[in-house]
A and B are shown apart, each in its own frame.
Chain A
């Protein structure tokens, strides 16, 4: 399971991504997001645990935002995800509030990868 459910409230589901937001997990994530969004009108996905992210992951975020009949929100973006959003200049298009990388964090992220 790429998504671990943390909490379910009436009409909403909070799940955490485990592992990578990359092409390796994209197919699995697509299925799980679709299933959860059908059951819960609001789906909040915590990205703090995303260890890696790539173009496929970014696409998945964009797609999730377009999912009909449900609202998907991404929260707690991990540094790799933030960096990807910054690089692609898509933060606005995806529209979730972000905790922006401070220069020091950004530098730390650079170092790590």
Chain B
């Protein structure tokens, strides 16, 4: 395959992925019954995929999609109606199309039997005996509709044509276009509007005063119909209403036209955005990182030079660099809704499989975070959601017996908090059973028979590898994989995972992640001669350490904070200074005090990935080069908070 073709195929892959996503959206909307599904869009999705697949000779995709398209066509024409069986079948078909496309583009082959089975099931909806139900209520339909008049019948296009005065002078004959239209489909009804004709005195026989309202039945797409009037684009107003648009009164027509226009505007807006390969973006961010360091170095030199003009110029430069940094980082930010949008389907499928009735509530879908995080958080979140449905939410009978509504609720939420993003998966199920977790942990030897654990510690046990309390193994979870995978994924993103649970009321799993992995503002601290950097957005305040050597806790305005002594953690040699300081850090709901020698102040920091040597260095999340050329290590606050929490619960000294 030549490169042009390969590139086109890439475009097709991307395009079909988007179309399949759209199909899923529409089908889920149809199934929930809360929205009127856009059946034409649904048809178009399948139609477009089939058409493009044909261009690439993907016969399997074309053959299978053709059957789906036929059913969707009957659906949009109102010959058949949605019911749960049909929408479920169409969802399966949609998945199969995706699998076929991937298979043809180098993915795993799909067993032919799957497609054959689906095609057979689709046949039931293609036979003429299939139940034809009216798609929409007919109440309030205009009287004209019953006579097959202009504004009634729903299964055809409606065209409004208004020709400009000069169209005839330009050599165009409106009726010739209408004649041609009649060859591209069936003109069900046509009304020539001649109210625009002037009085005899003002009548110019070479001007056109006519308009036409046409009901048009055709397989053609809107684009194809629009194309018919291409030549008179400057000489006519052409409005096209798709079939099933309820044209009841002028206001509705206008609304529909507006909507059509808005859709076009949105299209135009989309066309104004660019697709950029993410590695190019990463290169840019890397360079901006270097730029920030170079800028900081320049400023240090300028400060030392004692030349006011140079100092000012360096300060300006740094401010611009900071602007560029912020803008660049924003380029990578995407709404978490990109991930959340997959969950209606996940919840539906899992709930159906388990025979549970579950409502999914999504909040904060527009909360933004780094694109790379979005990609990496999707799988852990899916695990958590499946877990919540499987283990969290009780069967309906149990819920009813407990006086709870039979329908379970699963909540997905995202919000920004203290420089990070918090993602919550909450269910209103039975809550975690401390007793059972402890019993299971003892059976597995994770906890000694006499060992006493606090509630948070017990909850955290479910994050241990291979831990599961499920009494029966289901297809979905309960096979002992899951939460430990979630935990390590969150760790890899320098985030924290907290569990809150109340018996009978439900469980909240809370992931806190830093907003970006690339660049942070840092707060510099010194331990001996070494400089460390604490991410500034996690710093709450700094105080002097009270003179109480060996204290594990700090009483800060009646709040007990665990202390992490970085000197001992990082094995700094030499005596500590007489006076030490505490940097109070927070992520999500966890707080701790980091004990350091000296506070040096704010500094821009770029995180560079640590080399392998540092992999096992606890509490360090990255490194950066200071303006002076010195290397500084970045303190991994989430890891330290985790350490502090574990030690606090275990009653051990922290750090």
Contact = CB atoms under 8 A, between A and B. Distances in A.
Direct touching of A and B (C-beta under 8 Å) = yes
Chain A interface SS verdict (over half): helix
Contact of A68 (B191, B192, B197, B200): B200
Contacts of B297: none
Interface string A47-66: 00000001110111011001
B203 A30 contact: yes
A60 B194 CA distance: 11
Contacts of B168: 23, 54-56
A106 to B, nearest CB: 13
B194 A56 contact: no
A86 to B, nearest CB: 10
Given A62-B194, A89-B190, A89-B192, A56 B205 contact: yes
B571 interface: no
A34 interface: yes
B380 to A, nearest CB: 64
A68 B199 CA distance: 10
Contacts of B182: 87
A1 interface: no
A87 B179 contact: yes
B210 to A, nearest CB: 6
A93 B194 contact: yes
A12 interface: no
Contacts of A30: 203, 205
A26 interface: yes
Interface string B182-210: 10000001111010010010010110111
Contacts of B208: 55-56, 59
B200 A84 contact: no
B456 to A, nearest CB: 79
Interface stretch (B170-178, B435-443, B507-515, B622-630): B170-178
Contacts of A23: 168, 173, 205-206
A70 B363 CA distance: 74
Contacts of A62: 194, 197
Contacts of A98: none
A67 B200 contact: yes
A8 interface: no
Contacts of B212: 88
A89 B168 CA distance: 20
A55 B194 contact: no
A29 B203 CA distance: 12
A55 to B, nearest CB: 5
23 contacts: A23-B173, A27-B206, A30-B205, A34-B200, A55-B168, A56-B173, A59-B197, A62-B194, A62-B197, A63-B200, A63-B203, A67-B200, A87-B175, A87-B178, A87-B182, A87-B190, A88-B175, A88-B190, A88-B212, A89-B190, A90-B192, A90-B194, A93-B194
Top 10 nearest A-B pairs by Cβ distance? A26-B205, A88-B192, A30-B205, A54-B173, A55-B175, A55-B174, A89-B190, A23-B168, A90-B192, A27-B205
Interface of A: 23, 26-27, 29-30, 34, 54-56, 58-60, 62-63, 66-68, 84, 87-90, 93
Given A56-B208, A88-B190, 5 more contacts: A55-B208, A58-B175, A87-B179, A89-B190, A89-B191
